[in-house]
Every structure is written in C-alpha cells, then in structure tokens.
Amino acid sequence: MGLLDGKVMIVTGAGGGIGREHALAMSKEGAAIVVNDLGGSRDGSGSGGTMADGVVEEIRAAGGEAVANYDDVSSVEGGLSILQSGLDAFEKVDGVVNNAGILRDKSFANTTEEMWDIVVKVHLKGTYCVTHAVYNHLKQRNAGGVIINTSSTSGLDGNFGQGNYGAAKAGIAGLSRCLAIEGKKYGIRVFILAPVAHTRLTEDLPGFEKLATAMNPALVSPLVVYLASDLAADHSGKTFFVGGGRIAEMKVVTAKGITKVEDGGVWTPEEIAGRMSAGEILLPE
Ligand SMILES: NC(=O)c1ccc[n+]([C@@H]2O[C@H](COP(=O)([O-])OP(=O)(O)OC[C@H]3O[C@@H](n4cnc5c(N)ncnc54)[C@H](O)[C@@H]3O)[C@@H](O)[C@H]2O)c1
C-alpha cells in the first residue's frame, strides 16, 4: 500500500533536478505521474523531449506508471495540454506540483526587459497557466485535490541579483495564498515550497559545489509526498522551507504595532519616530 495509490499527479519541470525527485518519490508511493518538461537549458533557451522521456523510463523501470509531456508551462494552451496528457493517460488528475523554472540572474540595474519578461513568464504565468487548467478540473470533479507551488527564499526573503526571479516567486506565493482560500470549499489544498537543493540552477553558487550530497534534491521530495497525501488532509495555505534535511514553516507576520484613535488616526512623523525608537512598531529581531 502506497500513500498515493490511485492518485494522478502532474509534476512540471520534472525532467531533472528537484522535479525529477518529486516525480520518482510520488511514483514510489503509488501515484501515476505526468512528467512535464520542456527540456531546455537553465536560462530557458532550447527544448527537447529527452529529459521527460528519461524520467518516464526510470519510473516505468521501477514498476510505476508515467506519461511524458513536453509542453511549455507558460502558455494557456500548454497548461491545458499538460492536463490533457493526464486525462488521456489516466482519465483524471488529482493534483500538480508546479516546479518548472529558469534563471536569468543580474543585478537590478542590469536587468533587461527580456530577462524580466521571460523569468516572470515561465515562473509566474507558468504557474497560473497550469494551475488554472488543473484547478478547474479539480473543481469540476469535486473530489478535492492538491496544488503545490514552488516559490523560493529569493522571493520570500530577498536575494541579490534575483529581482526578476524574486518578483515571480513572491507572485507565486501570493497566488497560492489566495487560491488556498478559494479552494477550501472544494477540498482543494494549496501549498508553497521554498526549496534549497544542489541542481543545475545552483551548482555554480559560491560554496554550493561542495554541497552536492548534503543538498541532494531528493531531500526536498518527502515533504511533497506528505503534502500530496491524505496525511496532510487537514492542512492548506502553508509555506515550507525545505532542503538539506530541514523542513520549517515560513510565515508573513504582522506586529501588534501601534494604533491611534485620537486626531482622526493621523500620526505625525515625529510621533512615529518616537514609537519606532520605543520598539512598538517593528517585530522583535
Ligand atoms: N535548486 C534550488 O536550490 C532552488 C531554490 C529555490 C527554488 N527553486 C525552484 O525549484 C524549481 C526546480 O528547480 P531545480 O533547481 O530543480 O532546477 P532545474 O533546472 O534542474 O529544473 C527545472 C526544470 O524545469 C524545466 N523547465 C524550464 N522551463 C520550462 C517550461 N517553460 N516548461 C516546462 N518545463 C520547463 C527545465 O527543463 C528543468 O528540467 C524551480 O522552480 C526553481 O526556481 C530551486
């Protein structure tokens, strides 16, 4: 008995890196997998079917069920076609892990419109396109489901040289939080991941080349299996840092702050400065 027996899961960008591990791990627990991958390079150029095909072969060789899909996540047609691959092969879909991604890193001053557009398109619009198709299928089926969206600490905390990527990843988190609220009445659970792993996206980060084992992408996927399974049936809308064996919830928090009732609620800048110094506005460090 597997935790995901009878489930059909789509994983986008599953031809390598973290997505491949999600596909293998969910297959091991009994899910049939749609292995989507455009098969391009890490900056989003090029395409090809060999990456997705390779993972499908791995899954089948281990006795699992999988079908390949080579669509670009970042068009509405691509999103619908990825869903259709699941319906054609397995007659239904129970969820998706939106994982496909690329990088075009540069300091903000040197970020061109092209670098901005393609990164926002693949990550944020891609998450919209696939999620929209899958969400509406789940809503129609009325049997619940799960949507797991891949954000990043770069979007949630910030990172030098990743303004385009961080904006897209923060947008994914915002979409996911709204969708968790909307999906509640249909039993559709939505989660946000901020993974860290040694993949082709990170292998040239300073110091990261030594962390291939400690930051193995396979260490991200057990959380995804848990979230996709009934073990997490009571959870939705949560964000998780995950990588290197660590799993930790991340949260946007609002301090108690200060509220003025007199003078129509209008603070003077000097009053704000005083209350700021008194530590009444900021969260504790
Ligand atoms: N590796 C990390 O430490 C890290 C950190 C934070 C977030 N992430 C995110 O995790 C996800 C997986 O990244 P990874 O590190 O495994 O990188 P990766 O490059 O190994 O995997 C990304 C996959 O997405 C595919 N892809 C790219 N554009 C696509 C498109 N338009 N349509 C379909 N497939 C497409 C690529 O072919 C590739 O196989 C990404 O969303 C990434 O931003 C990774």
Considering only CA atoms, which of 135, 163, 164, 136 is closest in space to residue 149?
135
**CA–CA dist 128, 150 (Å, integer):** 12
What is the CATH number assigned to the segment(s) 8-250? Answer: 3.40.50.720
**CA–CA dist 20, 103 (Å, integer):** 18
Query: What ranges make up the beta strands (E) of the chain?
Result: 8-11, 32-36, 66-69, 95-98, 145-150, 188-195, 239-243, 246-250
Catalytic, 165? Answer yes
Long-range contacts of 53-59 (CB under 8 A, 24+ apart): 54/15, 55/14, 55/15, 55/16, 55/20, 55/23, 55/24, 58/24, 59/23, 59/24, 59/27, 59/33, 59/35
Q: Which residues of the chain have pLDDT under 50?
A: none
What pLDDT does residue 210 have?
86
What sections of 121-197 are H helices per DSSP? 126-141, 153-156, 163-183
**CA–CA dist 182, 191 (Å, integer):** 13
What pLDDT does residue 244 have?
97
Q: How far is the CA of 140 from the centre of ligand 1 (A)?
A: 29
What pLDDT does residue 207 have?
82
What pLDDT does residue 250 have?
98
What pLDDT does residue 206 have?
83
The token pair that represents 171 in the structure block: 């947008």
Burial of 89 (0-12, 13-18, 19+ CB in 10 A): middle
Helix (H, G, I), strand (E, B) or coil at 271: helix
Q: How far is the CA of 65 from the centre of ligand 1 (A)?
A: 23
Q: How far is the CA of 17 from the centre of ligand 1 (A)?
A: 7
User: Among the atoms of ligand 1, which is closest to the Cα of residue 196?
Assistant: 3
Place of tokens 């961080």: 166
Pocket of ligand 1 (CB under 6 A): 12-13, 15-19, 36-40, 42, 44, 51, 72-74, 99-102, 122, 126, 150, 152, 195-197, 199-202, 217
What pLDDT does residue 208 have?
85
**Which residue's CA lies nearest to atom 37 of ligand 1?**
39
**CA–CA dist 192, 171 (Å, integer):** 11
Q: How far is the CA of 98 from the centre of ligand 1 (A)?
A: 9
- Give the residue extent of every domain in the chain: 8-250, 253-285
User: Among the atoms of ligand 1, which is closest to the Cα of residue 18?
Assistant: 16
Does this model's pTM top 0.75? My answer is yes
- Residue of 70, 135, 165, 186 with catalytic role: 165
Pocket test for ligand 1, best of 24, 75, 99 (most atoms within 8 A of CB): 99
Considering only CA atoms, which of 9, 1, 115 is closest in space to residue 55?
9
